[in-house]
Structures are given as structure tokens and as C-alpha cells.
Amino acid sequence: MGDAHPGYRGPDAVAPPTMLQAWTMGGLAGHAGRPGRSDTNDELFALLDGAGCTSVVATDCEQEYLRPLRLGDEITFDSMIESVSERKTTKLGTGYFITTRMDVRAGGELAGTHRFRILKYAPARRNPQGDEGSAGVSAAKGAGRTTDPADTTDTADTADTASTADAATAASTAAPAAPVGTGAAPPRPGSSRPRPVVNLDNAGFWEGVGHRRLLIQRCTGCGTLRFPWLPGCNTCGGPAWDTVEASGEGTVYSYVVMHHPSFPAFDPPYAVGLIELAEGVRMVSNVVGVPHDRVEVGLPVRLEFRQYDEELLLPVFRAGTGREGGGTAGGPATSSAKPGAVGVPSGGGS
């Protein structure tokens, strides 16, 4: 993955960081020859299914890392159902939050703890107009939004329900408002693009995009550039950083052509590229201005910003070095999306 930290080599080497559950996955063969999980999890799910809670959505996870893993460590783990909440009502429906805890051990010593939380629920009924009857959601006519007068829980723990609704709708989090380009074409009916998820770590990136600037993080301790945006430096571990504006020049380092699945907001086949910027970092974005079957590794590209609707502005990369759409020699080009144009939220942890 390009991480050549010296701590991964030598007699005192530690394993590169990864999510805890990656060390315990059984792969395609499973955990052959080892005891399987107990029947407790299956029994609980069967009880909830019988109560009408047939749907499930992951809400969040918590991880605590207590020691690094080293060559020769034997990894074991125990998994248990830590808690089941009182019955709660959310925008998705009514059900129960189930928290599973996994303790990961290395050589018998606790190395980390992973908590994974899901909502097992009975889906809210919807009428033909799309209102969520059983969740108490009614359309606010003429306002272009919904109101939730009955979005409550059966216990006093309202915060859990609110955070779950937020997690379940994270994919539709709106990007920061961006200037509207002149001549921007309206989106096709039903073709609204997914919005990038903006959080504390990447908010500065999307703020830059809103001003048609592609910003790269730079560690103020060692000067290393990094992308996507992260809370700390992978090279020296320093938390302090500033930004450098990308020149807009780059090349296709790798790419894929998307054919499936079909989604109303996109028009397959289209090319998604891993773009190596002139500054040395790489980011994922669309390659435009050339048929998908003419995209190739090493193809020169240049940054431009496309306005897909009144709120969504995204960085894409145009093949060749032409500055079509209003770009100048000193900065990236800009353009407005035409019906059927393709764009994916790129970078910034979206």
C-alpha cells in the first residue's frame, strides 16, 4: 500500500495498523478446525424476527487498541452480545439496538476491543405518497422538506435514536453549499447524486471545493503531503497541519470502468480514475472529456470543477491539457454538468 514505515521492519517490528476485525476474519474457508460461534446470536435474531423485526442496519462501531501486534503473535478473540436496548422508534422503524463486543487477544494478552452496534427493526409503513406513517413523518407541503413530530423513543434515551437516524442517513448528508456555475443544467428527474459525507476531518477539503480550490494537507512537522485528509501525519505522527493548493495537473495512475450496478444518477459505462497529482498524492475521481475505452494509465489530466446541481460541486479530471470551460494557465478549469454527465464524490473521505 506504499507505507514503508521503518517500524514494520527489523527484530522489533510491529504490524501495520489495520481495523481489529481484519485480524479475526476467517476468509473464504472460515475458521476451519476451530469451535464456531454459539447459538446465542442465532437464537436472539430468531426471536426478533418472530416479533416482526426482520430488517437490520449497522449504526456505529467503537474500537480501542491496547497494544501493537508483532510477528509471531497468535491472535484469538471472544465475541459476546453485550447489550440489547429497550424497544425504540426511529425514522426507519421500531426495534432494538444490539451491541456485540469482541475482545481480541495476542498471546493471551488483551490487544483491543471492538464494539459493533446494529438496529434490528420492523420497517415503518409508507403510504403511496412516500410518507412514513408508522414513524410519524409527514411531508411539509410546499416546503420541500419533512417534519418529524412523532420521532420519539419508548425510553428516555433519545440520543441513541437520534444518532442512529443520523448514521442511517449518512449517505445523503449534504455537501457544503457551493457557488452555482452559469449555465448549469438541471439534474435529470430521479438522478440526484449521492452527497459526500462531511465530517470534522474533511470539512476543510469540501470548503475548498466550494471555492473551486483543491486543497492538500501538509504536515507542519515534517512537511509530508497527504490525501485523503486525515487527523494526523502517517510519517511522523504529528497532529499539526496546513494546506497546499493543487496545481490541477495530474496523470491517471490506475482506473476502472464501471458497468454495473446501474444507478439513476450515473450513466455507465464510465471511467473512475486514481489520479496522481503533480504534487505526488493520489485521489479518486472521474475522468471526463474522453470515451471510457480511451482512458489509460499515464494519461495526462487536468482538474476542473463541475456543478451538478444547485448544491453539488465536484472535482473531476479532464483528459489532455486543454483548458476548456474557462480555465487558465494558472488554475483549474471549471464547467457545468450536462444531462447525463458523470461525477462521483471524490476524496475527502466521501
- Which one, of 91, 69, 89, lies nearest residue 23 by Cα? 69
Q: Quote the cell numbers at residue 162.
A: 437520534
Q: What is the distance of C-alpha 94 from the center of its chain?
A: 26
Q: What percent of the chain has pLDDT over 70?
A: 69
Q: Identify whether the C-beta of residue 277 lies closer than 8 Å to the C-beta of residue 283.
A: yes
Q: Are 204 and 238 in contact (CB under 8 A)?
A: no
Q: How far apart (Å, rounded) are the C-alpha atoms in residues 148 and 159?
A: 15
Residue 338 CA to residue 268 CA, distance in Å, equals 15
The whole-angstrom separation of Cα 175 and Cα 191 is 16
The pairing of strands 282-288 and 300-307 is unpaired
Grid cell 485523503 is found at: 228
For every one of its 350 residues, what pLDDT tens digit does the chain have, with 9 covering 90 and above? 567 788 888 888 888 878 887 877 776 666 565 555 567 888 999 999 999 999 999 988 888 989 888 888 888 888 899 999 999 999 899 999 999 999 999 988 999 999 999 999 999 887 655 444 443 333 333 333 333 333 333 333 333 333 333 333 333 333 333 333 333 334 444 457 888 989 989 999 999 999 999 999 999 999 999 999 999 998 998 999 999 999 999 999 999 999 877 777 888 899 999 999 999 999 999 999 999 999 999 999 999 999 988 889 999 999 985 433 333 333 455 444 433 333 333 344 33
- Within 10 angstroms of residue 29's Cβ, the number of other Cβ atoms is 7
Exposure string (b/e) for 311-340, b if CB count within 10 Å is 16 or more? bbbbbbbbbeeebebebeeeebbbbbbeee
CA distances to 300, 301, 310 from 290, in Å: 11, 10, 26
For 305-324, how does the pLDDT look when each residue is reduced to its tens digit (9 = 90+)?
Answer: 999 888 899 999 999 854 33
Return phi, psi of residue 110, to 5°: -60, 120
Nearest Cα neighbor of 238 from 217, 218, 221, 216 is: 221
pTM of the model: 0.45
Region at 220 (left for phi over 0; alpha for psi -120 to 50; beta for the rest): alpha
Over residues 23-64, the pLDDT tens digits come to 777 766 665 655 555 678 889 999 999 999 999 999 888 889
Q: State the Cα–Cα distance between residues 299 and 254, nearest whole angstrom.
A: 10
Reduce the DSSP state of residue 203 to 3 states and report it.
helix
Quote the CA–CA distance of 84 and 95 in Å, as a whole number.
10
Residues facing residue 116 across a β-bridge:
61, 100
85: cell is 436496548
**Alpha carbon 256 to chain centroid distance?**
19
What does the pLDDT read at residue 193? 83
